[in-house]
Amino acid sequence: MMDAINKRVSYDIGCMKSLRKLPDRVSLKFMDLMTRYMSDPSANGLNLETVEGAKDSSIKSLRVDQGYRAIAFEVGRDIMFVHVNEHDKAYRWAVGRRVKLDPSTNRIRVIEELDATKVEAEAPAPSEPRLFAEVADKRLRALGVPDEELPAIRALTTIEALDAAEEDFDPLTYQVLYALAAGYSDEEVYALTGVAEEPQVAPMAVDDDRTFDQLIETEESRQTIFIPESQEELRRVFEEGLEGWRVFLHPDQRKLAYRDYNGPAMVRGGAGTGKTVVAMHRAKHLADAIKEDPARAGQRVLLTTFTTSLAYDIEANLRTLCPDHLDARPPRIEVINLDRWVSQFLKRKNFAREVAFFGEARDRLDQIWQEVFDDHELPDGLSEPFVKAEWSQIVQAKGLTDKRAYLKASRSGRGTPLDRRKRATLWDLFEDYRARMISEGLAEPDDAYREATEILSSEAPNLPYATVIVDEAQDMGEQAFRLIRAIVPETPAGDQNSIFIVGDAHQRIYGRRASMSSCGIEVRGRSRRLRLNYRTTQEIRAWAVSILEGVSVDDLDEGTDTLRGYVSLLHGAAPELVACASEADELEGLVAWVRALPADQIQLADIGVLCARRKDVERVREALRAAELETVVLQSGADDRSVPGVRIATMHRAKGLEFFAVAIPFLSDGAFPPPGALKSAVDAADREDIITQYRSLLHVAATRAKKALRVSWSGAPTGLFGDSPQK
């Protein structure tokens, strides 16, 4: 065996996928072998053995235990593990594989060489249509597909066959094929895969001096090859159940996260496209740069989002991805929801008023409103709910502080028109409300944002933030983004890597909206859209998208967005749409569904039951407990999946989470949207906005499901379904 001390061990994504299909004891033995070697390679060398009959002399095997073998490629000082399986299966897998150094795509690829004659002999009858019959070999080569895989591609007949053969293809080849099957143009395929347009298509020259050692370091290779930097990082990958997307980003995701921008940038995309993952990797990338530069000691990345629960979930994931940045003193990444950040900032600045986020302070604001209404006569045709909505959606959202500004303000989307006289009357009422609120020592969240923005703009405080990353941007309003711009203002030196925003207006569930440019955040020319859904099957995605049929949404700036080209990479069963005789039958059917899920493939912690109302959460909990099924009700705080039990949560709380299987009960016409929400509408336009929010909420809930979705109702179903439910 060669000198082990000089060896560098890496892991192809195929190795990680194969391990997850094996018994835990095998994964643990493999992990133990790898970590012991990394901690002391001289004492625990890897005894690699030649694979008899292999086409590539660099392919080796390693004994994990008596029944299992790991397959690796040993090239110079590098050992790259690519597969783990039972003894005979591992050897059969290894015989036809070889490492291909591919300068045309700037990466290392693991290719299976197949005999074209043998493949064709085993292929379906010639009369059966082939999936890529209309795609020429020359075009496939130009997109990055190697010659060795063309015979297997020509044998494919359906998209389902392509899905089943995923592990038989190099990851780049599979991405190219799936994009072509989904109808993408060549230009779109290049953009999605990260392959330069018109790469070199001729076979690699014999005297090419690009070595394995050099190609494994490229960004393209690192999309599918993991090189742990420490024993601790390696253990996190194996022990903490790190999902592939946290280590291996898809090329279009990686390009967005790991690059420099000369100003604010924005990433949009449908549910499951990995926006939050990109934001997390963006935070890691920028924190890595801070760590490497002694002159930047003390700087940090602020990663903020709308709700406390989402902030907890993101921080928990970052503790798996890059715990050193969170544990550094001071931390190089700070994760906090924006309301909490503002509250802490104003407290340090001795802000004299209490911000009424919730609780008694919020109740007192309702009392102040009633006192104001008692002392003022409303203009004809206007109601108290309408006036409060006008205050919230126009005056506070736009930061209007004087009568003249309100008289001139656009009220687009508010429905009920207001002439100048009515606006003037309302302003007198608004001024009275604001004065009473201040005298009581209270402030609304928008007031807090505005106050913090004014402080930051006037005194140029010495904040430690080099950049702000915003997740779930669609749920934040104008005042929030004006504050974010103030936290990292443009400087005379420029605006490089200052603000990074991710969001999707199709998932707006809180009714707030803002135009980036109107808040001083210019993202034009630096706005990108993700289109591949990595979480949800195509069948579930299609149903969830149908809920939004006919709904027009903005692009988080001053344009409109679309889900055109938004596709899933996975296929599975269609959503189960169940009509029940009563809500009691719904609960009984829900219990039966949970019990019927395959226990060998799914744990209770990977099942989510999502409800529109808090009272329904408790009803589901009681039904499952009565059936002796463990449950966990998700409220605030991160979801610790090591705690067993079916997860039960409101649809709002489920934002940012994902489950193997999801059930959404109580979607009858009289229960969803909740009657109370519709009664609160102040006019027809407001009612339509509320309905749109609940469409988005159902869309969000459905797209939490990875493989299985059950939707149920009793009586007539909600009118929000995009397609007619199947009885």
What is the pLDDT averaged over residues 633-656?
91
Q: What is the DSSP letter of 536?
A: E
Q: Does residue 600 share a domain with residue 488?
A: no
CA 494 to chain CA centroid, Å, is 30
The answer to the question of residue 309 being in a domain is yes
The rounded distance, in Å, linking the Cα atoms of 59 and 61 is: 7
Positive or negative, the CA dihedral 465, 468, 469, 473 is positive
Q: Does residue 584 share a domain with residue 436?
A: no
Q: Does residue 499 share a domain with residue 385?
A: no
The answer to the question of residue 370 being in a domain is yes
Predicted confidence (pLDDT) at residue 125 exceeds the cutoff of 70? no
Q: Does residue 701 share a domain with residue 635?
A: yes
Helix axes 478-487, 338-348, angle to 10 degrees: 60
Phi, psi angle pair for 535, to nearest 5°:
-95, -50
* DSSP string for residues in 422-474: HHHHHHHHHHHHHHHHHHTTEE-HHHHHHHHHHHHHHH-----EEEEEESSGG
The rounded distance, in Å, linking the Cα atoms of 307 and 634 is: 14
Predicted confidence (pLDDT) at residue 192 exceeds the cutoff of 70? no
Cβ partners under 8 Å of residue 291, min gap 6:
324, 325, 328, 332
pLDDT for residue 562: 75
Pairing of strands 107-112, 97-102: antiparallel
Residue 515 amino acid letter: S
Confidence of residue 197 (pLDDT cuts 50, 70, 90): low
Q: Does residue 141 share a domain with residue 169?
A: yes
The rounded distance, in Å, linking the Cα atoms of 66 and 86 is: 9
**Residue 726, helix vs strand vs coil:** coil
Q: Which carries the bigger pLDDT value, residue 360 or residue 210? A: 360
Say if residue 719 carries a ligand binding annotation: no
Q: Does residue 489 share a domain with residue 386?
A: no
pLDDT for residue 307: 87
Measured CA distances, 66 to 18, 29, 91, 94, 548 (Å): 18, 11, 14, 18, 54
Q: Which carries the bigger pLDDT value, residue 595 or residue 494? A: 595
Containing structural domain, residue 682? 573-714
Predicted confidence (pLDDT) at residue 622 exceeds the cutoff of 90? yes
The rounded distance, in Å, linking the Cα atoms of 573 and 646 is: 21
The rounded distance, in Å, linking the Cα atoms of 510 and 399 is: 18
Predicted confidence (pLDDT) at residue 365 exceeds the cutoff of 80? yes
**Residue 171, helix vs strand vs coil:** helix
List, for residues 395-454, the tens digit of each pLDDT value.
998 889 999 999 999 888 788 899 999 999 999 999 999 999 999 999 999 999 999 999
The rounded distance, in Å, linking the Cα atoms of 524 and 541 is: 29
Predicted confidence (pLDDT) at residue 239 exceeds the cutoff of 90? no
The rounded distance, in Å, linking the Cα atoms of 521 and 265 is: 9
List, for residues 130-185, the tens digit of each pLDDT value.
899 999 999 999 999 999 999 999 989 888 788 788 888 988 898 899 888 877 78
What is the pLDDT averaged over residues 582-590?
96
- CATH classification at residue 191: 3.30.2310.20
Say if residue 399 carries a ligand binding annotation: no
The rounded distance, in Å, linking the Cα atoms of 255 and 252 is: 5
Measured CA distances, 47 to 69, 71, 558 (Å): 12, 12, 61
pLDDT for residue 199: 47
List, for residues 449-507, the tens digit of each pLDDT value.
999 999 998 876 689 999 999 999 998 889 999 999 999 998 888 899 999 999 998 88
The answer to the question of residue 235 being in a domain is no
Q: What is the DSSP letter of 143?
A: T
Q: Which helix (H) or strand (E) holds 535?
A: strand 532-537
Residue 425 amino acid letter: T
Predicted confidence (pLDDT) at residue 4 exceeds the cutoff of 60? no
The answer to the question of residue 553 being in a domain is no
Say if residue 409 carries a ligand binding annotation: no
Output the CA angle 16-17-22, nearest 5 degrees: 95
Predicted confidence (pLDDT) at residue 638 exceeds the cutoff of 60? yes
- Give the residue from 443, 466, 494 where a domain finishes: 443
The rounded distance, in Å, linking the Cα atoms of 72 and 62 is: 8
pTM over cut 0.85: no
Matching residue, tokens 């802490």: 344
**Rg of the Cα atoms in the chain:** 28
Instruction: Note whether 243 and 317 are within 8 A (CB).
Output: no
What is the pLDDT averaged over residues 328-343?
95
Measured CA distances, 674 to 553, 581, 611, 614 (Å): 23, 20, 11, 11
The answer to the question of residue 539 being in a domain is no
The answer to the question of residue 224 being in a domain is no
Predicted confidence (pLDDT) at residue 593 exceeds the cutoff of 80? yes
Measured CA distances, 542 to 427, 565, 612, 712 (Å): 46, 12, 21, 18
What is the pLDDT averaged over residues 117-129?
60
Q: Does residue 586 share a domain with residue 528?
A: no
Confidence of residue 619 (pLDDT cuts 50, 70, 90): very high
pLDDT for residue 366: 92
pLDDT for residue 532: 80
Q: Does residue 71 share a domain with residue 37?
A: yes
Confidence of residue 14 (pLDDT cuts 50, 70, 90): confident
pLDDT for residue 19: 86
**Of 560, 407, 392, 553, nearest to 478 (Cα)?**
392
Confidence of residue 295 (pLDDT cuts 50, 70, 90): very high
Domain count, the chain: 4
Q: Does residue 81 share a domain with residue 122?
A: yes
What is the pLDDT averaged over residues 14-38?
86
The answer to the question of residue 50 being in a domain is yes
- Give the residue from 443, 475, 506 where a domain finishes: 443
Query: What count of other Cβ atoms lies within 10 Å of the Cβ of residue 401?
Result: 11
What is the pLDDT averaged over residues 667-685?
88
List, for residues 283-293, the tens digit of each pLDDT value.
999 999 999 99
Q: Does residue 468 share a domain with residue 433?
A: no
Q: How high does pLDDT run on average in the chain?
A: 87
Predicted confidence (pLDDT) at residue 242 exceeds the cutoff of 50? no
Burial class, 582, CB count within 10 angstroms (exposed 0-12 / middle 13-18 / buried 19+):
exposed
Say if residue 14 carries a ligand binding annotation: no
Say if residue 263 carries a ligand binding annotation: no
pLDDT for residue 70: 95
The structure tokens listed for 290 are 């801070």
**Maximum Cα interatomic distance, the chain, rounded to a whole number of Å:** 92
Residue 66 amino acid letter: Q
pLDDT for residue 127: 63
pLDDT for residue 722: 61
Instruction: Note whether 331 and 290 are within 8 A (CB).
Output: no
The rounded distance, in Å, linking the Cα atoms of 385 and 360 is: 20
pLDDT for residue 726: 42
The answer to the question of residue 542 being in a domain is no
Instruction: Note whether 700 and 507 are within 8 A (CB).
Output: yes
Say if residue 269 carries a ligand binding annotation: yes
- Give the residue from 216, 239, 270 where a domain finishes: 216
The structure tokens listed for 85 are 């399986």
Say if residue 272 carries a ligand binding annotation: yes
On the question of a cis peptide bond just before residue 673, with omega within 30 degrees of 0, the verdict is yes
Instruction: Note whether 431 and 465 are within 8 A (CB).
Output: no
Instruction: Note whether 286 and 301 are within 8 A (CB).
Output: yes
Q: Does residue 704 share a domain with residue 603?
A: yes
Burial class, 391, CB count within 10 angstroms (exposed 0-12 / middle 13-18 / buried 19+):
buried
Cβ partners under 8 Å of residue 58, min gap 6:
73, 74, 75, 98, 99
Burial class, 429, CB count within 10 angstroms (exposed 0-12 / middle 13-18 / buried 19+):
buried
**Residue 237, helix vs strand vs coil:** helix
Q: Which helix (H) or strand (E) holds 337?
A: strand 333-337
Predicted confidence (pLDDT) at residue 236 exceeds the cutoff of 80? no
List, for residues 678-709, the tens digit of each pLDDT value.
888 888 888 888 899 999 999 999 999 999 99
Q: Does residue 364 share a domain with residue 342?
A: no
The structure tokens listed for 277 are 């993952």
Say if residue 100 carries a ligand binding annotation: no
**Of 532, 438, 505, nearest to 193 (Cα)?**
532
Q: Which helix (H) or strand (E) holds 268?
A: strand 265-269
* DSSP string for residues in 351-392: -SSEE-SSHHHHHHHHHHHHHHHHHSPPPTT--HHHHHHHII
Instruction: Note whether 228 and 234 are within 8 A (CB).
Output: yes
- CATH classification at residue 597: 3.40.50.300
